[in-house]
């Protein structure tokens, strides 16, 4: 195959870059390792969809203290097919730091508006958000904490309550729903089931991509390659292609480590009804943590709650009375990605500062649950699994250690980070791999560091900026 641009990956970065480049008149080939995803894949049953829609059956985990699950999508749309649909712009202080320290500029309001318009981003209504969100809101308001309903990429959402397991009504406007069809309509070609072996480079210039498919090897000849395989796989692909010799390659991994707290209430919450992630509390953002309400059906609760035996059964029988809220930390810890026997191995240890932030965050979130009226609070902490009757002392007095925590990491970022100086970044401020011509990165790997908010809009904005840079065009006013 021949193309002007070969895009590797069809998630938040790849699908956006492909659409913008194809609509700009370039011949684009998109290579996606996973299968084509659609509404038919989303049955609304977490138990049955989680192992099928997530990479490695949803069992990607880090090595370190504590080990944490790293759920990644696989297939068209990438992780946007299975994320919660939360949309935040890159926070202005982050943009300012990138400008000053990394030389990254040009993420303008016009770019964010263009992305948000394409995705139909709008604030969730209280009615659609459901009672889990209302519970979180009630607690926050009683404490006078700052918060609000989240903005999301959905059109015609009916509050099915299973965003993270694929939207069964097709309401979620993920990258595979919005951008990939635009790319194809503009003439791009999509090859699914294509695992990229390496990027072909001659004399420091991209010549194309070599992939493996069920039908055999596939070579795409293209003078420009956009890598968007995600923060776990992009650095490994660059490394096995002999690219990105920066000492930063595969390092500087941040994941926004996160966990959840459950409150048990007298009145029904019915957290399986409504938009799972729909209310946030940012009162403590400057302390390095935020709360985002997150919910799901009973099997999701059984999966996540730290119980077994009689305690689990009793919780499940009372599931209608359970509310859940997530705690996400802007991590200062840094991990790394390496290849061992051809498989990615992710090392990440939670540092003392982040452990302390988790302790503070858990105490604050417990306070919120008490304020909302919880009788009992269930914690993701091995040595203190639950608190009763407003008494947070056992948690407060605990010398919390990383191994106590049950964590997940939803937002891997930074393993091929952008920096003007090749000693500190794998790609330059325009997302071109240092020391090469024609190889660019447009996914979470290029994001220089943690954002403190969900990253899909940032990744899409960076991909939009890259595409117009490659097209040598200004980003036009937003598309309706």
> Under the rule (CB under 8 A), what is the footprint of other proteins?
44-48, 50-52, 56-57, 59-61, 67, 272, 297-305, 308-310, 312-313, 316-317, 319-320, 343, 382, 403, 406
Considering the complex, what minimum distance in angstroms separates the CB of residue 338 from other proteins? 15
Minimum CB distance to other proteins smaller for 48 or for 267: 48
CB 276 within 8 A of CB 297: no
Minimum CB distance to other proteins smaller for 108 or for 169: 169
Q: Which of 102, 319, 321, 411 is catalytic?
A: 411
321: annotated active-site residue: no
Considering the complex, what minimum distance in angstroms separates the CB of residue 274 from other proteins? 13
What three-state secondary structure class fits 199?
A: strand
- Please give the Cα distance from 460 to 107 (Å, whole number): 11
Q: Tokens 């269930």 belong to which residue?
A: 378
Burial status of residue 343 (CB atoms within 10 A of its CB: 0-12, 13-18, 19 or more): exposed
The neighbour count for residue 284, using CB atoms within 10 Å, is 18
Helix (H) or strand (E) holding 343: strand 343-347
**φ, ψ for residue 149, nearest 5 deg:** -75, 145
Considering the complex, what minimum distance in angstroms separates the CB of residue 153 from other proteins? 23
Considering the complex, what minimum distance in angstroms separates the CB of residue 82 from other proteins? 15
Considering the complex, what minimum distance in angstroms separates the CB of residue 347 from other proteins? 14
- Please give the Cα distance from 223 to 225 (Å, whole number): 7
Minimum CB distance to other proteins smaller for 383 or for 473: 383
Minimum CB distance to other proteins smaller for 28 or for 305: 305
Q: Please report how the helices 14-23 and 456-471 are oriented relative to each other, as an axis angle in degrees rounded to 10.
A: 30
- Please give the Cα distance from 147 to 140 (Å, whole number): 7
First to last CA, the chain: 33
Minimum CB distance to other proteins smaller for 289 or for 300: 300
What three-state secondary structure class fits 68?
A: coil
The catalytic residues are 411
């Amino acid at each position: 195959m021949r193309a002007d641009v070969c895009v590797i990956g069809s998630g938040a970065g790849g699908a956006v870059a492909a659409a913008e480049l194809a609509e700009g008149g370039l011949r684009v080939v998109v290579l996606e390792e996973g299968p084509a995803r659609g509404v038919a894949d989303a049955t609304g049953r977490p138990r049955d969809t989680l192992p099928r829609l997530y990479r490695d059956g949803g069992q990607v985990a880090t090595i370190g203290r504590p080990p944490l699950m790293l759920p990644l999508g696989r297939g068209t749309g990438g992780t946007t097919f299975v994320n919660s649909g939360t949309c935040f712009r890159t926070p202005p202080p982050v943009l300012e730091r990138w400008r000053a320290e990394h030389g990254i500029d040009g993420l303008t309001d016009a770019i964010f508006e263009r992305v948000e318009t394409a995705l139909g981003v709008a604030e969730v209504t209280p009615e659609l958000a459901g009672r889990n969100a209302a519970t979180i809101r009630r607690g926050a308001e009683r404490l006078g904490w700052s918060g609000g309903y989240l903005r999301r990429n959905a059109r015609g959402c009916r509050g099915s309550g299973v965003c993270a397991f694929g939207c069964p009504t097709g309401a979620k406007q993920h990258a595979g729903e919005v951008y990939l069809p635009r790319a194809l309509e503009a003439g791009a070609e999509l090859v699914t089931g294509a695992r990229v072996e390496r990027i072909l480079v001659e004399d420091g210039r991209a010549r194309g991509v070599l992939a493996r498919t069920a039908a055999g090897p596939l070579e795409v000849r293209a003078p420009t390659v956009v890598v968007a395989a995600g923060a776990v796989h992009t650095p490994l692909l660059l490394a096995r292609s002999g690219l990105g010799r920066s000492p930063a390659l595969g390092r500087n991994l941040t994941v926004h480590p996160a966990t959840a707290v459950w409150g048990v209430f007298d009145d029904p919450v019915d957290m399986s009804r409504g938009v799972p992630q729909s209310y946030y509390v940012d009162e403590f953002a400057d302390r390095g943590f935020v709360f985002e309400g997150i919910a799901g059906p009973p099997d999701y609760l059984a999966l996540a709650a730290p119980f077994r035996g009689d305690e689990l059964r009793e919780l499940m029988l009372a599931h209608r009375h359970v509310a859940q809220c997530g705690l996400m930390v802007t991590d200062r810890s840094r991990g790394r990605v390496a290849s061992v026997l051809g498989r990615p191995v992710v090392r990440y240890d939670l540092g003392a500062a982040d452990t302390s932030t988790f302790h503070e965050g858990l105490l604050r979130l417990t306070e919120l649950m008490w304020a909302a009226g919880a009788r009992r609070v269930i914690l993701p902490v091995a040595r203190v699994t639950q608190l009763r009757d407003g008494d947070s002392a056992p948690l407060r007095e605990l010398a919390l250690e990383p191994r106590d925590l049950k964590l997940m990491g939803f937002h891997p970022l930074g393993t091929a980070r952008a920096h003007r100086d090749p000693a500190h970044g794998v790609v330059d401020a325009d997302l071109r791999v240092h020391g090469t011509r024609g190889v660019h990165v447009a996914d979470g790997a290029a994001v220089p560091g943690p954002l403190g908010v969900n990253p899909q809009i940032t990744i899409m904005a960076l991909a939009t900026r890259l595409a117009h840079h490659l097209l040598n065009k200004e980003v036009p006013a937003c598309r309706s």
